[in-house]
């Protein structure tokens, strides 16, 4: 039987408790065996946003997910042509890991814009999709394709932008990120001079 693997892609700049709580919920309540945090080199929709180095973001995710056996961090997209398009990533993942059934995990904000993704029909045809709620984004669940399911996860509206701005302004955000991520940000003096 194939391992049900959720693919949770993002720049994770930085990863925060909202990401972790959501993924934890999906593993424990929505039938996924594991979640792979797929660290994205550059989101095609966010070309104007300055990112921390790929490896620094990868290490923060690695530190945050280390203690929970159902979480994995993946640098799979680091080795694919850029920009990273999810349709290509999922196809390559399927070839590399035939023992897994990959489910795409996206927010309602991404689902609302899904028709602007590269080859959205192909993703819908080949992979289940779990859509989690986001504030200010409404999804018409009656119109969802058969392979797409809206999940009622707890709503934790924390953003990486909020974390970065807070750090830059000298705020202590230790309870908004995993303790290891907080220490990593402090130790490497990240986000201070953005």
**Domains of the chain by start residue, with CATH:** 3-156 (3.40.50.620)
Supply the pLDDT for residue 161: 94
pLDDT digits (tens, 9 = 90+) for 101-139: 999 999 999 999 999 999 999 999 999 999 999 999 999
Q: Which residues of the chain have pLDDT under 50?
A: none
Please give the pLDDT value at position 45: 61
Task: Tell me: cis bond preceding 140? Omega within 30 of 0 counts.
Answer: no
User: What was the pLDDT predicted at 50?
Assistant: 77
pLDDT at 37: 98
Quote the pLDDT of residue 194.
67
At 84 the pLDDT is 85
């Amino acid at each position: 039987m194939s391992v049900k693997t959720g693919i949770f892609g993002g720049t994770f700049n930085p990863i925060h408790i909202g990401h972790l709580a959501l993924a934890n919920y999906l593993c424990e309540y929505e039938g996924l065996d594991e979640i792979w945090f797929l660290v994205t080199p550059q989101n095609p929709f966010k070309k104007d946003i300055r990112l921390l180095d790929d490896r620094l973001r990868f290490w923060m995710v690695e530190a945050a997910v280390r203690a929970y056996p159902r979480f994995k961090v993946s640098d799979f997209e680091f080795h694919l042509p850029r920009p990273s398009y999810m349709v290509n990533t999922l196809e390559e993942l399927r070839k590399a890991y035939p023992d897994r059934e990959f489910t795409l995990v996206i927010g309602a904000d991404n689902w609302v814009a899904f028709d602007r993704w590269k080859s959205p029909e192909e993703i819908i045809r080949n992979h289940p999709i779990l859509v989690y709620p986001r504030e200010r984004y409404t999804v018409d669940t009656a119109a969802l394709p058969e392979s797409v399911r809206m999940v009622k996860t707890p709503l934790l509206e924390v953003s990486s932008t909020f974390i970065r701005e807070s750090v830059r302004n000298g705020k202590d955000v230790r309870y908004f990120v995993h303790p290891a991520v907080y220490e990593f940000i402090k130790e490497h003096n990240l986000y201070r001079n953005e």
